Homo-oligomer: A and B are copies of this chain.
Amino acid sequence: MKRHLQVELENMKKRILLIAGMAEESVQKAVKALRSRDVNLAEEIIAGDQAINEMEVEIEEECLKILALHQPVAVDLRFIVAVIKINNDLERVGDMAVNIAERVLVVAKARPVSLPFDFDGMALKVENMLKMSLDSLVNSDVDMAYKVGLMDDEVDTMNQRCYDMVKQAVKKEPERIKCFINLLLACRHLERIADHATNIAEEVIYMVEGEIHRHKLEVFE
């Protein structure tokens, strides 16, 4: 009962969007948990990561089956290899959401801090990058993929600003270092999610244009 390659590829597109949706939701929940100091929500994210991990393994096994049974070439081969790598990025995005959730468990124990730093703004930009990178995959939209690369630079600047503010805050209230460092780490986790979105966008460019653009986006930044 060997199905046609094109049907398999369409199914694979649906599957990668499924794990993408899970990873996106996990990030959104993590940002919300940090904002609202919601320990229950943080624990829900940590527990939910197992499902993302299992889905990653399932997708990769399916890709290998397609490679072995259908031996795709050209654009179909590039699609499958891109899926294998994007799948890996999405699983790591899920890990980053877990890392943020673990920060929530620490931060929620301390009394609230107010930093003059726009964490929500940074989170929103990162969530958008992730969304855009996946839209570029679904629509094979290279222009959108290039935009993701440009946004990554803005996120790096925001992360640097967070670091500067934490530095100032620690000098004023050194006894609160634990809380400040955890907020700084949460920003770094967000920044790494942005890196994964950029990887995904680079894979899409490669998939569509047939050339590896990795490390070339850096020139644009």
Chain A residues within 8 Å of B, Cβ to Cβ = 50, 53-54, 56-57, 60-61, 64, 67-68, 71, 73-74, 77-78, 81, 84-85, 88, 163, 166-167, 170-171, 174-175, 177-178, 181, 184, 212, 214-215
Compute how far the CA of A73 lies from the CA of B54 in the bound complex, rounded to whole angstroms: 24
Residues of chain B lying within 8 A (CB to CB) of residue A73:
68
Q: A71-B71, A177-B171 given as contacts; is B84 within 8 A of A212 (CB)?
A: no
Q: Is the CB of A81 within 8 A of B56?
A: no
Chain copies in complex: 2
Compute how far the CA of A174 lies from the CA of B163 in the bound complex, rounded to whole angstroms: 15
Q: Is the CB of B57 within 8 A of A81?
A: no
Q: Is the CB of A53 within 8 A of B167?
A: no
Q: Is the CB of B67 within 8 A of A81?
A: yes
User: Closest B-chain residue to A178, C-beta based?
Assistant: B167
Q: A177-B171, A215-B53 given as contacts; is B84 within 8 A of A81 (CB)?
A: yes
Q: A170-B170, A177-B170 given as contacts; is B53 within 8 A of A81 (CB)?
A: no
Compute how far the CA of A156 lies from the CA of B163 in the bound complex, rounded to whole angstroms: 23
Compute how far the CA of A171 lies from the CA of B170 in the bound complex, rounded to whole angstroms: 9
Q: Is the CB of B171 within 8 A of A167?
A: no
User: Closest B-chain residue to A58, C-beta based?
Assistant: B212
17 chain-A/chain-B pairs, Cβ below 8 angstroms: A53-B214, A53-B215, A56-B215, A57-B214, A67-B81, A68-B74, A68-B77, A81-B84, A84-B84, A84-B85, A85-B85, A166-B181, A170-B174, A170-B177, A171-B177, A174-B177, A181-B181
How far is the CB of A105 from the nearest CB of chain B, in Å? 14
Compute how far the CA of A5 lies from the CA of B72 in the bound complex, rounded to whole angstroms: 17
